[in-house]
Structure 1
Amino acid sequence: MGRKWGVLAAVGVVAALAGCGGGDDAGTDTAAPPATGQITEPGPFFGQCGSVTDDEVSTAFGMPSFTGVTRNSVGCEWETAGIGGPSVTFSWYRGSPIGRERAGSELIGRPATDIDVQGNPGFIASSEGILCELGVEFGGDFIHWSVMYADARPAADPCKVARDLAELSVSRAK
């Protein structure tokens, strides 16, 4: 008989709790607000190397022929003299916040400035006219161009090169 009363008591508690949602409070939403930094819809498709050709990168960069071009699932890197030498890098980040990349740039002494590339927000940051990086946001994704002349004499303004290449990528996105 004690077990029967325990089951009835449990049913009564559940029924009482279920009834707590009614009355004047029924219109209030008690759900937790969405988490900050929540990933938004993915951006467009950019194609290999941001849909920019080796010749287009070479022309914009204005340096001697590339000695190495690396292509992988994340992006591409064009080098003229090996690691640490003049180079251009394209990266495409799916489902990653652009703010992390911007903060990293600022942490190492390259203050970022807000920009707009064909209606898409982003940032640009440079260092002493030899390096420039540019990120452009697309919903939950972003692309990133980095132009570094290293110890070589810059053949062009690295930020103009990065901007021109970003414009090409954005105009060709699908």
Structure 2
Amino acid sequence: MSVARLSTEDNDRESKRSKKGTSPVLRFSDEDKIGTIQSHDNALVVTLRIGGFDVKRVLVDQGSVVEVMYTDLYKGLNLKPEDLTAYDSPLVSFEGKTVTPRGQIGLPIQTGSNVVEVDFIVVDTYLPYTAIVARPWLHALGAISSTLHQKVKYPSEGRVEEIVGNQAMARQCMVAAISRQSNAESLASIQKDL
């Protein structure tokens, strides 16, 4: 059996599954790496339509249980303090510090024709990302993500749709975070010496 024949049979099976009303199979292959710089350690950073605006520098984090919005985005979306509802649980930042959220806000995230309402925790701290989307968003969308392949795949109307990560943006975010940490450490060292 040739490879082309096997591929055609796989497509026929997937097409039949879609006709029966089942969800398409979400998977990644080496073909999904085409267009990415390999080998890499990049985070998965994407652009998403949040609250009706295209928002860049959104980190997709499978390890997080809450969606987070940083104040720069909150202000950029022209949201007001009265738009927030109370959120009392403190969060732990990437730096290990406890962060008290300003509140919580529900906003839609649109991917293609799919819209998922997400509860963002708004925090007033620095991170080079504008927001973090996490497992609740991925699960509501029925999506899977892969940092290796730099993609999020999700079912939509019997097809597999994808959101492609931006490696250049991911690297810029990493450099900004490292630079900020280095500057903070240098400042702390100078103040200690005074």
Whether TM exceeds 0.5 here: the answer is: no
TM-score normalised according to structure 1 size: 0.25
Q: Which has the higher contact order (CA 8 A, sep 6+)?
A: 2
Task: Please tell me whether Structure 1 or Structure 2 has the larger radius of gyration of its CA atoms.
Answer: 1
TM-score normalised according to structure 2 size: 0.23
